[in-house]
Amino acid sequence: MVATFGITLLFAANPAFAQESTGSVGFNPQEWLRNALQWIDSLGTVGAIAFILLYIIATVAFLPGSILTLGAGVVFGVVWGALYVFIGATLGATAAFLVGRYLARGWVAKKIEGNKKFRAIDQGVGREGLKIVLLTRLSPIFPFNLLNYAYGVTGVSLKDYVIGSVGMIPGTIMYVYIGSLAGNLATIGTDAQPANPAVQWTIRIIGFIATVAVTLYVTKIARQALENEVLEPENERFDLN
């Protein structure tokens, strides 16, 4: 079901992460971030530090980082823009992970303590954390900001989580490149933003492969973890030693 949904979303949706919201009233995060990018563009050499700090804040605060990713291509170019996005996204994702782990992990652990199925799945995901994080980072259908907090309440180690962030690199480079085509921050994230069809389809294909892979892989390790959870009590019961 997840794979089917992901495939549909990947090929039906516009791969430019976020679109301009129309008719919104009050605080518009996309517009606010665009204004912040304009300010960062005027800072010169210190703009890179300000951008990374802004990306960290946006990630923790659930603001649409796609605007920043696309905007980095305009402000810094493809190479430096991709580097700054990766640093900001990794640090921001790590901060959100730690918040999820130390503020919510205890509560979740208590909830699943008496449920063998949930406990087994949690342990299974924890053992294969690096591969799962890597695959989900390659797939654009998994919401980046939410996923950061979600991993915090699983058994995934911080080390595997951080290393798995390298899965963001292909998508980061491609989206920063798409942003660089705009040449103007005002068009970032809007229908007026130019795009490269070849890059868009590359993103979709990579996302499709990663989505199917992570779905099958998580299903496999969850099944194995459940089988082990069931077999261990039986082995203890018949152990005559």
Q: Residue 205 — pLDDT band, cuts 50, 70, 90?
A: confident
- Which residue do the tokens 């991709």 mark? 82
Range with top average pLDDT, 4-8, 23-27, 232-236: 23-27
> Per residue, what are the HEC states of 131-149?
HHHHHHHHCCCCCHHHHHH
Average pLDDT over residues 181-209: 65
Show the tokens assigned to 27: 């605080």
Average pLDDT over residues 47-51: 95
Average pLDDT over residues 84-92: 96
The pLDDT of residue 6: 44
Residue 234 has pLDDT above 70, yes or no: no
d(CA 144, CA 148): 6
CA 60-185-96 angle, to 5 degrees, is: 5
Residue 79 has pLDDT above 60, yes or no: yes
Question: pLDDT tens digit string along 208-233?
Answer: 676 677 667 666 666 665 566 555 54
Residue 9 has pLDDT above 50, yes or no: no
- Which residue do the tokens 């130390």 mark? 102
Q: Could you tell me where the DSSP H helices lie in the chain? A: 2-12, 29-41, 47-60, 65-75, 78-112, 116-127, 129-138, 144-152, 158-163, 169-182, 197-238
Neighbour-count burial for 198-223, b at 16+ CB within 10 Å, e otherwise: ebeeebbebbbebbbbbbeebeebbe
User: How far from the centroid of its chain's Cα atoms is residue 215's Cα?
Assistant: 16
